[in-house]
Amino acid sequence: MKQMPHLDGIPSTPGKFKMDKSPYRLRWNSSPLAKLIFWSCVFLGVIFLFLFRSSPSNGMDSSTLQFDSSRRSLRTFSWGGPAWEKRVRSSARIRVQNGISVLVTGAAGFVGTHVSAALRRRGDGVLGIDNFNDYYDPSLKRARQALLERSGVFIVEGDINDQVLLKKLFDVVPFTHVMHLAAQAGVRYAMQNPSSYVHSNIAGFVNLLEVCKSANPQPAIVWASSSSVYGLNSKVPFSEKDRTDQPASLYAATKKAGEEIAHTYNHIYGLSLTGLRFFTVYGPWGRPDMAYFFFTRDILKGKSIPIFEAPNHGTVARDFTYIDDIVKGCLGALDTAEKSTGSGGKKRRPAQLRVFNLGNTSPLPVSDLVGILERLLKVKAKKMTMKLPRNGDVQFTHANISLAQRELGYEPTTDLQTGLKKFVRWYLNYYKSGKRSAE
């Protein structure tokens, strides 16, 4: 066999590289110019690599790169190709008469998973999209994804800021509805990472609406707003007619901005838009950043839990709402959503624009939440009373749900004791093997 001597000198692993034997060593040491050229090449190479990897997708590419400001990391998503399109079509296929075909954003999230599963159970077509970011333990999102996959729901990995991907999804499937649940959640985290709220809740929402307005047919959109838009209001219960111009957190401000943005897209392009103001949603497969979840974890670990108290020993209370009730509200909103009225990016006539409170109408103090958890877990909590932080928390929330009752047939039926019992049962089962740990 012909020898290839020029290859022999190339080390097979870096560990075998012997600098002393390098024929370049002498010249390297002796010439500062060579040094300069070498490092310039390395530098240019790094720049070239970065630009090459960041070049925008041309619409035909099967992968896109996103800069996720919330995570400060580069994330690569792969999509496209005949097999991928087949999965997308199959997941979004309607299986019943008069069914709907729904794109669910944030499908690996808490509410997204439950809504996707419920739609699928009814025989509706469901396709999910989620960027699987690491705001909280991504393995929980992966477990939710696995759950949905078992029932035939495919979650596309991608970001709602990726216009090329969203357009592609609408090219492949003529979605009748979008259930928009992808968001940066959490009221306190907004002080740590404000740009992630702008990125997901404002830029991402606008990007989605841009794609929806140009889609043919335009879908009807139902999306998650928040009880936090009531901000510092003191009149209870909160009604949709009340002012929402004094948000207490950037999270609340971005959700309020979303409501105004919805108005604009409805007004200009005839998109049918329904905003749902969720009130502290809890339940199985929930979010580990929420109090009921990490209180459970910390009580079991014997760690102390901070319980917030308003000035003058004032009670802090929430209108805790169980996930199954929220899901019913979401389906009610989808089922009563009228069609969008635009086409070719133009409004033909006025379209539906709605906003509803989805709460439980029976607020309870956080101390009651802790008491119920103690009884269910059979462990006494180490409580630490702390002043209500001034970084976004409000003292109480309380929903007036009469509008949702009338228009959506929304009727919450789960009290906090019953709902937490179901959550604790799930939690103990999910983390029981010791293989998983709640971070």
Give 403: exposed, middle or buried? Use CB within 10 Å, 0-12, 13-18, 19+: middle
Q: Shortest distance, CB of residue 253 to ligand UGB, whole angstroms?
A: 13
User: How far apart are alpha carbons 158 and 295 in whole angstroms?
Assistant: 32
Residue 380 structure tokens? 């006494």
Instruction: Name the residue number minimizing CB distance to ligand UGB.
Output: 226
Helix axis angle, 366-377 to 291-301, nearest 10° = 40
Q: Which C-beta is closer to ligand UGB: that of 144 or that of 168? A: 144
CB of 53 to ligand UGB, least distance (A): 33
Classify each residue of 359-368 as buried b or exposed e, where b means 16 or more C-beta atoms within 10 Å of its C-beta. bbbebbebbb
Pairing of strands 177-180, 154-157: unpaired
353 near 273, Cβ under 8 Å? Answer: yes
Residue from 203, 305, 318, 337 nearest 261 by CA: 203
The least CB distance from residue 386 to ligand UGB, in Å, is 7
Closer to ligand UGB by Cβ: residue 187 or 271: 187
Give me the least distance between CB of 186 and ligand UGB, in Å please: 5
Residue 378 bridge partners (DSSP)? none
Count the residues in the chain. 439
Residue among 120 and 318 whose Cβ is closer to ligand UGB: 318
Considering beta carbons, is residue 91 or 228 the nearer one to ligand UGB? 228
Residue with tokens 């997308």: 88
Burial class (CB in 10 A: 0-12, 13-18, 19+), 328: buried
- Which CB, 164 or 316, lies closer to ligand UGB? 316
Q: Which residues bind ligand UGB (CB under 6 A)?
A: 185-187, 226-228, 278-280, 290-291, 306-308, 316, 318, 366, 393
Nearest to ligand UGB of 227, 272 (CB atom): 227
Find the shortest distance in angstroms from Cβ 397 to ligand UGB: 6
* 246-250 long-range Cβ contacts below 8 angstroms, 24+ apart: 248/187, 248/392, 248/393, 248/394, 249/187, 249/188, 249/190, 249/391, 249/392, 249/393, 250/190, 250/191, 250/194, 250/197, 250/392
Indicate the SS3 state at residue 18: coil
Residues with a catalytic annotation lie at 251
